[in-house]
Amino acid sequence: MPNDQQVSHQIEDALVARNPRGMAQVQPVLTAGYCLRAAQVLQNCVKHKPGATVLIGTGFPVVGTFETDGPVGAIALYDTLEWLGAVPIIVCGQPLVGALSERYRTHEIRVGLYADVDADTIAALAHFNPQAVISIERPGQAKDGGYYNMRGESISERTACFDGFMNWAKCPTIAVGDGGNEIGMGKVIHVLEQLDIVPAVTSADELIIADVSNWGAYGMIAFLGLWHGQDLLAKIDPLAIVQYLSDLGSVDGVTRINQLTEDGMPMSEGQSVIDQLRQITGFSD
């Protein structure tokens, strides 16, 4: 069995193998082992701090609703962390927070730019006292303070600010992104000019890049399963999660259609990544 660092390299390569938005070109500037280091943060929470609170920010606004990429991975990670004894909370704005609140612990952040956003964020961090803060496919502020989608269109009026949770947190922060305009991409801002995107400047302690952000969550879950001797990835059913989200009004972020896909790809692609990660970590059938 390869050591953890070698496993991390294999996982990191698998997450950008399809390369629809240039993340394979960004990967070399990140210090290898980022999946391992991110997962170690979560392992520390569940192993050494029973009942630790973990905030998971997600939700990218698309045509008046939310896209499937982000929430699928957030839900998979939420369920995993809860299974391992942590207390995850999904942090997002409307309409996603309203859709998820009946089934999951949530914290609502207000949509739109407003004067008290920093104060609200600091108050929330003080209240929850998280041991880790994670962003999965959250819009990140650009240099001008605004938010932009993959087409370069401004979405500031429809976006709730999660950036402050990364900036003000007194605990480790992890971000997952797939295009360059998400929270965490400030860590690689110097190489994003080659991409056709308005880049985000908000950074994080650890950044995981993937062809679809949901898949970055699977990379962390793969390590947690390896360390706990449990096939935790086998518990994840991406198609069932996206069906749940679709019933709540989600759309594919690329096609902008209510369909059972993520970033224009069939859910079988995500399942294929899960199967590959299970094989890498020794849990293949």
Alpha-carbon dihedral sign for residues 100, 89, 39, 19? positive
pLDDT for 185 equals 98
CA dist., res. 33 & res. 7, Å (int) = 9
Hey, how many other C-beta atoms are within 10 angstroms of the C-beta on 247? 10
Residue 222 has pLDDT above 70, yes or no: yes
Provide the pLDDT confidence category of residue 108 given band limits of 50, 70 and 90.
very high
The mean-pLDDT minimum among 118-122, 159-163, 166-170, 192-196 falls in 192-196
pLDDT for 66 equals 98
- Domain 4-139+148-278 - what CATH class? alpha beta
> What is the per-residue pLDDT across 235-263, written as a single tens digit (0 to 9) for each?
999 999 999 999 999 999 999 999 999 99
| Share above pLDDT 70 across residues of the chain, in percent, rounded to a whole number | 99
Domain map of the chain by residue range? 4-139+148-278
Average pLDDT over residues 196-202: 96
Hey, how many other C-beta atoms are within 10 angstroms of the C-beta on 136? 33
Residue 232 has pLDDT above 80, yes or no: yes
Pairing of strands 132-136, 173-177: parallel
Average pLDDT over residues 123-131: 98
88 φ, ψ (degrees, to nearest 5): -80, 150
End-to-end CA distance of the chain: 16
Provide the pLDDT confidence category of residue 278 given band limits of 50, 70 and 90.
very high
**Which residues is 111 bridged to in the sheet?**
160
pTM as predicted: 0.97
pLDDT for 83 equals 97
Average pLDDT over residues 132-158: 96
Average pLDDT over residues 33-57: 95
pLDDT for 237 equals 97
pLDDT for 285 equals 64
Provide the pLDDT confidence category of residue 52 given band limits of 50, 70 and 90.
very high
Residue 152 has pLDDT above 80, yes or no: yes
Residue 175, amino acid: A
Q: What does the DSSP assignment read for the chain?
A: ---HHHHHHHHHHHHTSS-SSSHHHHGGGSPS-HHHHHHHHHHHHHHHSTT-EEEEEE--EETTEEBSTTHHHHHHHHHHHHHTT-EEEEEE-TTHHHHHTTTS-EEE--BS--TTHHHHHHHHHHHH--SEEEEES-B---TTS--B-TTS-B-GGG-B--HHHHHH-SS-EEEEESSSSBTTGGGGGGGGGGSSS-------SEEEE-SSHHHHHHHHHHHHHHHHTS-GGGG--HHHHHHHHHHTT-B-TTT-SSSSEETTEEHHHHHHHHHHHHHHTT---
Provide the pLDDT confidence category of residue 90 given band limits of 50, 70 and 90.
very high
pLDDT for 164 equals 97
CA dist., res. 196 & res. 210, Å (int) = 17
Query: What is the average pLDDT value for the chain, to the nearest integer?
Result: 96
pLDDT for 125 equals 98
